[in-house]
Structure 1
């Protein structure tokens, strides 16, 4: 095992040089964790400001799923990071497991799992909206949408309940490398692999299948529109929205989550750790997905950006009414022309969850 491997495995010891190295790196790691928490919190506060009110082109179910995603992402900054920063301050490298560390590990894993389940639910909703638009209301009505959200939040605590037991089926120890309380996956290989089988792999399979089908559908739609422009002798090609949206979404998902899952499986099957910074990056990389989701699921949408600018404008004028005269701002809400408003309302069941809608809006 590497000398700088994590301290979550029984019997791990640190010599004086390694302890000094870990202690020197601790402030840097805590600063990175704090910065991530601030970015995630601010980004999701802006998202909540917008989707808590009506957004043109967004269906009710779409807003439910996106609010669920925002809640899961916000939990990174409001729950996971404060708890782990607290543990990092009070736990010593030689401290053994305790009930508080078990609870922190439980909340960490539960938030991570809820985020993955929610991302899979959004992909599934998008898939139904695109390929079954006429049956959407019956296939995914309000009751079923809320049931999916309830499963995304309720299933992880059930699967992860054994982590909360101090003398349960799996051990939990403070990791000096990642500054979190991690389950010792090698202490129960079957349970550790079962978690990946019930959480990561099903969610990844659903997201990959749905987004690949959506990408293919959007590419076909773009090709049809290109042929129509050629027949009408209209020059130029529109942007490749399918690649601009779906490729980054899937790339970011696998980049953020795969290293953590690979290390989990490696630790469970080999009982060995990984180098200090490899573990730190792999453990905390999924939290950055909470900030990047704000960009890929919200900021790329025109309706969201317009609504955010309008709310920000109202907030600025409310805090400083004199700014309107000084800056010559217009306090009226942005004007939506009839063509854009009609296209955004009628283009799809959910503009955020339908790539064909995004493509159509781009060409208007």
Structure 2
């Protein structure tokens, strides 16, 4: 055990330890300090903070921000200083404090005063007097964090939906987190200003929803997310999904296609006797024989994906229609949008 640090209120002790049962070399733990001065059980702060490498020199600032050094999170050098905020007992995504606090060397023992504005950091960066030197730091720009609060409701009744699964991610892989909504349908996440994220909301019996969000430097208003009952996708004798897109000249299932097909899976699980005929159509560009083969490959991929999600293979079949049964006659020419309408997947209810 090393690097002990008290919380601002003196009610908790943070330490680094290589005790058995951790996630890596050194992990950060927290112990509550009891009224008689004894310590409670040391609780590992979890995988959001700790990695397979070293997490050391914890420091809990009075604004509820945990600073620590790590060589396991993505950094600029050896040990870098990182931070995370505790929101409702959960840690926000770990962030690198960045330049000039961090360098291409080891930066550690970061500590701020009670005002969380002035402090010190130790570093073995080039240009110092000795091996490890102490540097003064001053926060001239507040760490910009944004609280995104959302409520998930039923479109028809406007009542909150509890235990809906929400997940957020960005295109870097740094943000990747999941939570369930509360009994009031509420869920919140902490992000950094100007993050661009994708929020996915799903609940059995409802159509999943995906929302792209770009955050600014002020907390946004409560985001109301309305989920449609899954039955809304059943129109006459078809399951009407958003277009299933494939990459050019390919038949593999994309992430977008999987998102839509998961809705079909949900319906088929709710109606266990339902049998589906999946038809894949192409536009009329290219040789008809080739388009026929391509559509057959795509139809089979579509059916196989649904089967891989636990649907019996006897309940869905895939048929490649090629250029047959076009929605728009392109014999005299078609626009790009008209060709796109002919490139489609249809899910016909054979029986239910």
TM, length-normalised to structure 2: 0.20
* Bigger helix share: 1
Work out which of the two has the higher radius of gyration on C-alpha atoms and give 1 or 2.
2
